[in-house]
Amino acid sequence: MSKLPSHVKISEDALMQQLGDEVMILNLASEHYYKLDEVGGRLLQLFSEHSSVQKVFDIMMHEYEVPADLLREDMILLIEQLLKAKLISVN
């Protein structure tokens, strides 16, 4: 994936739980657990509230002092990992 998709949808098979600064995700279909740090957990929370990746990007730019290119690259990497784990779908 070389650019951000326009929309992200959390899978119905993804069960999320906040544990301190981390978010644990269980893929109910595969029964695999995944752990996200604070920033990854915040991204996933925002994806569950807003399907628009651009809106999530804008919120993250406002909340974190990070260069836009770095945020974009990190979001692409996380989206790719979540897709591989079948925790999200994109379009």
Reading the block at residue 46, the tokens are 């925002």
pTM of the model: 0.91
β-pair type (88-90, 8-10):
antiparallel
Q: What confidence score (pLDDT) does residue 56 get? A: 98
Q: Where are the domains of the chain?
A: 8-90
The per-residue pLDDT for range 44-68, each reduced to its tens digit, is 999 999 989 999 999 999 999 999 9
Pick the CATH number of 8-90 from 3.40.50, 3.30.390, 3.90.930, 2.60.120: 3.90.930
Categorize the per-residue pLDDT at 70 as very low, low, confident or very high, splitting at 50, 70 and 90: very high
In degrees, rounded to 5, the angle at the alpha carbon of residue 15 between the alpha carbons of residues 10 and 20 is: 110
The per-residue pLDDT for range 23-47, each reduced to its tens digit, is 999 999 999 999 999 999 999 999 9
Running DSSP on this structure, what letter comes out for residue 64?
A: S
> Distances in Å between the alpha carbon of 26 and those of 12, 17, 61?
11, 9, 28
